[in-house]
Chain A
């Protein structure tokens, strides 16, 4: 057996294969995950009951009804949450009802974090295992859900609220609800 000159097909096959692959990947990248709507948008909040931080009692999906609410998913281990916190506090001072969703965190850490940085939340619900967060479709922290008076999720921000684009889009959606 002896090798000879590679045929034209053999010479071009690797390149063609790569071009197809790159095209597929490129297509994947154009799907900006920020724009991919959460399947939960315009659906009612998933049923849940979770304990509260700093107080006795529990909080369930029914407690979200009757007000326009932001549910802000955060954790003490999350650096971006710390960066966005000032923005969350500003929104809270404007009278927006914000519920904290403490995600995969330790109660002591979460309390210390709020004590140091300030607590803008009406209530803080605790999802220590992240089980309920799965139902909500949470990828990580921070994320912010906009829930309307009927307990229906209207919008979701992935990432920091300190990002002006994120904030603007959220406020626009909120205005539309009022």
Chain B
């Protein structure tokens, strides 16, 4: 019975979402306070029903209720508790439920933290989020019901895809979804502003912290995905430009453009309509990302063949959301007038260029991801764009990006003088270039222009940011949290670029046949294969190798790469073993058993790969610090100003 309650709860959530998406928006149009005041309770009720449904599905996983088809498909008796809980979002139906749950949480959060905003705006924002929720609940109820029963119930279930049984990946979808769905807030604010015809700087101030938080979560989500791929897939790579990754990278690029554009709109009132467009774009790409990954259209045609209704529904939903909001934009943006004036050489221009770079990057990824699909759809043939295309595109895009990133934050709003900037920047530029180009000499081989330029770019970004910080401290200027957040995020970019430049150039990888007792040297490290042992895990059996690592004849670590077989069936999974270091990772992955106890094996030396993820963490932390800035804690400020005005009254 209990799973039926879950289904029923979803139906109720759907009904509430319909109310939420209609009543407050009519209220806003008629200026009816009663109708508008429905928004907050409806948001809360929706959250309670979706939350209940989610809890019921989780329970079904925990108590092994295999009469629920989705549970039977994605878990079995021996699956550990952690992977039963994360199994909820392990496949299509459950991950849609997670998406909807997160959307309802964001909706409640907006309802709770918007007390200082005008009622009309709040009513519209919550209603728009309600509309998105209606779309998802309809999709779930009609094509992807997670509570569908199977009769007779199997005695044991299948299992969660073993690839997904990893703590990093367990956390990856929730983080990613918090980011994806978070852009719905910026989207809802943009649409609400278009509906109300009031696109002013305050609109940007309100939606900015929400956007930054969403962006920071998305950054963490993508970094976790990358880290997982490195850790789990056993290929030693950290980014593969596969369509699933690109689907999360596109909204990130649009979101990065958006948070910068919001800064211009908030501070200077410029680029208003452009910012609205970016808010629509970032959320649209999030929707596209969710759907193309989950519908399986990218991975295999099978997923679509099993249920073409899903494909048609997804396309219709995307058309309504994206087409509808763009039509609204076309209709209402005529009234938007940007009044801010600025010179060609100004912070505004720098941020505009930033936006051009990021949107170009997003377009490049979009083309690279969708082009093969389109060509296939039109029946011209099967082609793959792949890695070389993306590598070339992003090497080109990173040049203007890094140059701007160093110089942009120095330039003043409205206008600045080129000689002033040149005086500051020239020295740093030369130092970065020389040091960057010399750095490759530290590693064994000599000059390497590409790596050198990458490192020079990273140094340039870091040195300009640090110089600015030092100058401000010397001048005893107030360092706001949003400034510190920006510096931290930009330093993150620097770490990220250093990590990429060094890892791509100086990694060593070897595919070997190793007999027990033999050893092999790479990059000054000796990998000694000591043998293989059968090791049982909670729901798998593994062949575990012992590899001792020595440097200068001294033991510095032991690796235990495994080949796991889950539940006595399925392909064996490679579980790489990694000796982690700030400056290098040593990595071993088991291949296949060969004759006489020998195994094929893959060993890697990966210098500074940790810097890539450290850089992402810096960026995300920067985002979190920026939103803790004082000016977003408006309530406090209002209360203080109220007290002051009372004091003034008393004095007079």
Contact = CB atoms under 8 A, between A and B. Distances in A.
B377 interface: yes
A18 B312 contact: no
Given A25-B315, A139-B300, A76 B569 contact: yes
A77 interface: yes
Given A1-B344, A5-B334, A22 B569 contact: no
Nearest to A35: B305
A104 B343 CA distance: 63
Determine which residue in A28, A33, A106, A112 has the highest number of CB atoms from chain B within 10 A of its CB, and name it: A28
Task: Please indicate which of the listed interface residues B304, B305, B343, B379 has the most CB atoms of chain A within 10 Å of its own CB.
Answer: B305
Interface in A21-76: 22, 24-29, 31-34, 76
A113 interface: yes
B28 interface: no
A94 interface: no
A139 B342 CA distance: 56
Contacts of B304: 29, 33
Given A28-B377, A31-B377, A139-B302, A109 B341 contact: no
Nearest to B272: A3
Residues of A in contact with B, size category: 35 or more
A19 interface: yes
Interface in B336-362: 336-344, 349
B483 interface: no
Nearest to A105: B571
A2 B326 contact: no
A105 B308 CA distance: 29
Nearest to B158: A79
Given A1-B343, A27-B377, A113 B569 contact: yes
A82 to B, nearest CB: 8
Contacts of A28: 373-374, 376-378
Interface stretch (B210-218, B236-244, B316-324, B529-537): B316-324
Contacts of A34: 305
A15 interface: yes
A125 B170 CA distance: 36
Nearest to B162: A77
B68 to A, nearest CB: 14
A32 B327 CA distance: 30
B330 A2 contact: no
A11 B377 contact: no
B271 interface: yes
B301 interface: yes
B568 interface: yes
Given A15-B326, A25-B315, A109 B337 contact: no
Interface string A93-127: 00000000000111001001100000000000000
B330 A32 contact: no
Nearest to B304: A33
Contacts of A160: 306
Interface of B: 73, 158, 270-273, 277, 280, 300-302, 304-306, 308, 311-312, 315, 318-319, 322-323, 326-327, 329-330, 333-334, 336-344, 349, 373-374, 376-379, 565, 568-572
23 contacts: A3-B339, A4-B337, A6-B333, A8-B334, A10-B273, A11-B329, A14-B330, A18-B322, A19-B323, A22-B318, A22-B322, A29-B312, A34-B305, A76-B570, A77-B571, A104-B571, A106-B565, A106-B570, A109-B570, A112-B568, A113-B569, A158-B301, A158-B302
Interface of A: 1-6, 8, 10-12, 14-15, 18-19, 22, 24-29, 31-34, 76-77, 79, 82, 104-106, 109, 112-113, 139-140, 158-160
